[in-house]
Structure 1
Amino acid sequence: MTRHRTLTTLACVLTAVFAAAWAPAPAAGAAVATTVYTRDGLVRGAVHDGYRTFEGIPYAAAPVGALRWAAPRRPAAWTGNRDATRPASACPQPAGEVPGGSTDEDCLHLNVTTPDGAAPERPRPVIVWLHGGGLTTGAAGSYDAHRMATRGDVVVVTVDYRLGALGFLAHAGLPGSGTFGLADQQAALRWVRDGIRAFGGDPHNVTLAGESAGGYSVCAQLASPAAAGLFDRAIIESGPCTGSPDRPFAPSAVPLSTARGAGADLAAKAGCGSSHDVLACLRRVPVSRLLAAQDTDQQPAYATPLLPADPAAAVAAGRFHPVPVLIGNNHDEGNGWAAGIIQAGNPVTPATWPDVVAAFFPSPGQAKAVVREYPVHPADGGPVFGAVIGDADFACPTARTAGLLAAHVPVWRYEFADEHAPPLTPGTPPFPLGAPHASELPYLFDLGGRPRELTAAQHRLADTMIDYWTRFARTADPDGPSSPRWSRQTVLSLAPDHIVPTRTARFRHHCAFWSTLG
């Protein structure tokens, strides 16, 4: 099993995961209209049972034509009352989370969910959510935030930003190379700062939150000088700042020189490599051809104006925006990937295990060390493979990130550990997945507008998690009298039958081993 074949398989696996987990719910009946005046014009949203939604609001001009691979610009004002009762198109991406994919570049929109009723005495805290998807897939409209908004009495903003090559192309002489998607996120934060008060939100109490690539985007914004003053707290779910680009699962950043090399490869695949004006040629290429030519994973570029330093180095040096942070990972992050790769025809047995490890750790010395640290027996190949992925790419980098951040700012760390979390994929996996990557999301959101089937104990856990997350957004401290105590000195383990502090996470995930392996 070669590394290239493994990663190609992984792309197909994730497409199936997202298509199942985020499939949109059937359209609901007509809702009562509600109108708000934004900085650019009137928007007509919808009133639901206890909350209001305003969807598809443009926060930047459509990045089309000459604006493809340009910094986001303020959208033109409109006259009349803009329909904001349904999400706009997702940013261009292959089929997967978005059924059929998307080729619509007019995608720089956001959605606002706010509690209904009389205006509060004080503006509500604001949570700005950045979706995951490897910086290649995902959509703001996949995240129905009404439970978080109503239970936590907060305003939730979900954001679409440029993805894939359209979001992260790097090319010599192109301002903004490798960071257009991050620039979009900052443009959305500026929109929130300037206009969220119209929706009852407090522009001076903004929490930037995200999961997976969205969590890593939060890391990048912590390290970006251009994001100064745009948010007051940070929530990072399964997107540790100290990820490494030589690992295929956890998101990370790459040097500008590396990103430019990937950009040159893209231009060649798209038929523009020998053009006299490569960028002009690329701006004429249909979106579908760009999607076919781009790599399955994307990384933002550092050594750039927006991201001068690798976020991992910035965090290690203490050069990041000093805001409180809530950060965590899932107990079994890697199991979904391991199961998908096994189901795609790559068995993990004592005989095949050395070759499987070598596909991800090309250094013979590293591969042998991993095999010794994580021995495989006939009945446990899948879980062991999942543990390697989860420990190396998520649990231990999260622990390292939390420790580095805590030297400068208040940090609260969690581990989501519901071993019976609702599955995000149909069918029966080759082994029990436990609490894999993204499994905490149904406790915070109705993905695709569909509430997941939860037991009574899981509903209580979901309520408790929303309480923690929104208290953190309100006061910078998730702890409170209505929930089990959350101390900054421990990792809070979140499961239906126990919400308890633990000090053993580093040992359970072999973090001493990974710190010596490098």
Structure 2
Amino acid sequence: MIQTTVTSTVLIIILLIAIATGKLHNVSTKIGEIIGFSDIAYFNGTQRPVLIYLNIPYAEVPTGERRFQNPVPKSPFSSPYNATFSRMAYLYSPSSAGKNPESSENCLFLNIFVPGDRIINSSATYPVMIWIHGGYSVWGSAYMYPGDVISAFGEVVVVTINYRQGFFGFFSTGDKVASGNYGLWDQRLTFEWVHDNIADFGGNPNAVTLFGESAGAVSVSYHSLYPGNKGLFHRIILQSGTVLSHSPEVGSSIGNIGSYLGCNHTRSDDLVKCLRSVPEKDILQAIKSNDFRTIFQPVVDGDMVTTTTPDLRRSIEDLNPDMVEHFASLDLLTGYNSNDGGIYMNSFWEPVMDIDSNENNYLVTRADFEDVIVPQNVILAFGSNSSLLKEEFIYHYTDWTDPGDDFKRRKNVNDFKSDLWLRYPTLYLSNIHSNINPKAGTYVYEFKYQPSYIAISPSWLDGTNNGIELPLLFGFSSRMKQFVPLPEPQMISPEDTSLSKTMIDMWTNFAKTGNPNTPRHISGDVWKAYTPKAGDYLQFAAGNPQAVAKQSPTNQRIAFYFEILPKALDVIDVATQKDCNNTGPLFDFGLDCSSCKSTAPEYNRSGKFNTDIVTLENILICLIVLSAVLLICVLLSCVYICFRLQREDFEAF
């Protein structure tokens, strides 16, 4: 034991001496020679060597005719490629994101972090983790999330990627001229690049895990349902986001931004041709000054994304069998933060409600809650026919002890957004995954830990907001400080560091084995695999231990989604179908059945039903009429029986 420890110490000293000399590290790949460098990763007072390769281009520059097109693989290098420094990030990055590197539409690069042990053991191989960052599919970059600490201390190869976002990544005309989702195709091309080249860096192409947070997790979720990705990755980690956390549709302001940029065309091909000629700086200015950002997100393109969110929320099992098979074949680790809905407050209040959040501290009237917030979100989640559900959600998220209290309503709105878009989708997807393939690992967590260096803001926000776990997961990397605000080392408590180590160990354990508990020993409770029946999950929270085994994450709020909501959706679907096969006045719900099919209501590309609204009053009227008919039948039967009895008595007499 002592000899092993001494040997390990000597090897680390040799590695650190080699790194101190600033030695470069070259790798020969199928696309040419790539020059990286050795460095030191720091965590909790400990140093470990790491090999870093920055800004490796995986696609040709997506400008000119390649704008609004799927990416083209990068041609081989004609000379050794210098991957020792950062270059371009995605074009749009808000000032609040920190100090970003120079940005450009030419952003299709990836970064690779390799455990430094490979310097003296060139035959060493490691599992691979590909990180997809979040940011509403609008902003952010790989540079904000350096993988040096995870790689060095978790003993995995980490790949972080840039991809097109916002206008450049998801602009769509709603047809084949510009079908959208170029950012998703960028991501997929990195998977192919890793599959073809990562072995040269010491990575195992047969042990690849995708992990992402928020919009990044949504992207990972889409890829898990795309059969064309089979064999490119084997496990997925979804942090605060799933395919059900997003409603894909074509943005409604396409014509507006076209007009703003001088492209006043009604034909898709003419509009796209014009937009391809507009300088990127002019587009960036239009995006920043006119707030077109939120409309350019993943859409139904008939290829990568074939199904709307309302369809998915009804039944994932009924999808294309190849999609279900691919999803079920993957090990799944997924979870949410206890108050993920906090991220939606800023994004919703000012652009949608036209309310200055600073003036009213996110207070909302009862009318706005019932007439704007609930209807808009329910329709996005379940389709336009789902307005029947409006009253159900209003009832469920109203404190009836004091329905006029704006402060209680504020909390209820936050709970509504958290449950509808993050908590319920996470558990729903976990149920499906566990049921379809119990042999594949399904692990669920709740992150409830509030780091010591973050003051809860605003004070009324109860729980851990979206993204709080990321600095801990990335080990408070000193490289992260270059691009995002991070606490000074003295502000990070021993508890913060302890949980950071636990998360790194669990995440990398999962990448190695599909089980977060092994091979590296974990302090705290065993993380049991999730099943819908037992409901085992792990909660990260303050205390000792910080990782606590729990059961039944389905609290009273979430039980509504699993017990009441499916029945309500069945009523909607049955009502719509009855009207499509209308045989009489009992089933006249006032729906437009011009596009009804024999089995289910049809959706168009925007993700909305081609029918009008089913209302609760319609159904009640039908029930009343049906009851009246039954009552009349009963009365007539009674009269007939009485008549027969009297006749028999008369004949007997």
Class of the TM-score when normalised by the shorter of the 2 chains: 0.7 to 0.9
Cα offset, 1:417, TM superposition: 0.9
Cα offset, 1:172, TM superposition: 5.5
C-alpha distance in 2, partners of 1:176/1:282? 11
Please tell me whether Structure 1 or Structure 2 has the larger radius of gyration of its CA atoms: 2
44-53 or 34-43, which moves further after superposition?
A: 34-43
Q: Which has the higher contact order (CA 8 A, sep 6+)?
A: 1
Partner of 1:346: 360
Partner of 1:283: 276
Seen in structure 2, the aligned counterparts of structure 1 residues 106 and 35 have a Cα distance that, compared at 3 Å, is: same
The equivalent position to 1:441 in structure 2, one of 447, 452, 470, is: 470
C-alpha distance in 1, partners of 2:346/2:306? 37
Contact 1:506–1:512 (CA<8 Å) still a contact in 2?
A: yes
Contact 1:135–1:297 (CA<8 Å) still a contact in 2?
A: no
Structure having the higher helix fraction is: 2
Q: Could you list the per-position Cα deviations for residues 451-509 of structure 1 after superposition, in whole angstroms to 9, with x for gaps in the alignment?
A: 6443212211111111111111111111237223111131110124231122242206x
C-alpha distance in 2, partners of 1:491/1:469? 15
Structure-to-structure mapping, 1:261-300, within 5 angstroms: 263-274=254-265, 277-291=270-284, 292-293=286-287, 294-300=292-298
Partner of 2:538: 492
Q: Could you list the per-position Cα deviations for residues 411-447 of structure 1 after superposition, in whole angstroms to 9, with x for gaps in the alignment?
A: 1111111034643xx9953435531100111111147
Pair 1:126-2:128 in alignment: yes
Give the 3-state SS of the residue equivalent to 1:467 in structure 2.
helix
The equivalent position to 2:242 in structure 1, one of 222, 240, 243, is: 240
How many residues align? The count is 475
Contact 1:354–1:367 (CA<8 Å) still a contact in 2?
A: no
Seen in structure 2, the aligned counterparts of structure 1 residues 421 and 212 have a Cα distance that, compared at 3 Å, is: farther
Cα offset, 1:175, TM superposition: 5.7
Q: Could you list the per-position Cα deviations for residues 299-334 of structure 1 after superposition, in whole angstroms to 9, with x for gaps in the alignment?
A: 312242222334762844363312111111111112
C-alpha distance in 1, partners of 2:406/2:303? 51
The amino acid of 1:507's aligned partner reads: N
C-alpha distance in 1, partners of 2:130/2:316? 22
Partner of 1:13: none
Partner of 2:27: 36
Partner of 1:308: 306
The amino acid of 2:335's aligned partner reads: G
Partner of 2:416: 388
C-alpha distance in 1, partners of 2:342/2:361? 14
Structure-to-structure mapping, 1:17-166, within 5 angstroms: 31-49=22-40, 50-96=49-95, 97=97, 99=99, 104-117=104-117, 118-119=120-121, 122-166=124-168
Pair 1:368-2:394 in alignment: yes
The amino acid of 1:412's aligned partner reads: Y
Partner of 1:512: 559
The amino acid of 2:419's aligned partner reads: D
Partner of 1:317: 318
The amino acid of 2:89's aligned partner reads: A
Seen in structure 2, the aligned counterparts of structure 1 residues 76 and 501 have a Cα distance that, compared at 3 Å, is: same
Structure-to-structure mapping, 1:437-476, within 5 angstroms: 437-445=466-474, 446=476, 449-450=480-481, 452=487, 453-476=491-514
Alignment TM-score, normalising by the size of structure 1: 0.83
Structure 2 residue runs of 5 or longer lacking an equivalent are 1-19, 41-48, 350-355, 376-386, 531-535, 570-653
Q: How much is the aligned-residue C-alpha RMSD, in angstroms?
A: 3.0
Pair 1:503-2:503 in alignment: no
C-alpha distance in 2, partners of 1:253/1:336? 19
Give the 3-state SS of the residue equivalent to 2:110 in structure 1.
strand
Q: Could you list the per-position Cα deviations for residues 194-218 of structure 1 after superposition, in whole angstroms to 9, with x for gaps in the alignment?
A: 1001111001111011111110001
Pair 1:429-2:458 in alignment: yes
C-alpha distance in 2, partners of 1:212/1:158? 15
379-388 or 67-76, which moves further after superposition?
A: 379-388
Seen in structure 2, the aligned counterparts of structure 1 residues 202 and 100 have a Cα distance that, compared at 3 Å, is: closer
Partner of 1:415: 446
Cα offset, 1:87, TM superposition: 2.5
The amino acid of 1:359's aligned partner reads: V
Seen in structure 2, the aligned counterparts of structure 1 residues 504 and 269 have a Cα distance that, compared at 3 Å, is: farther
Quote the sequence identity (%): 27
Partner of 1:3: none
C-alpha distance in 2, partners of 1:264/1:300? 18
Structure 1 residue runs of 5 or longer lacking an equivalent are 1-28, 244-250
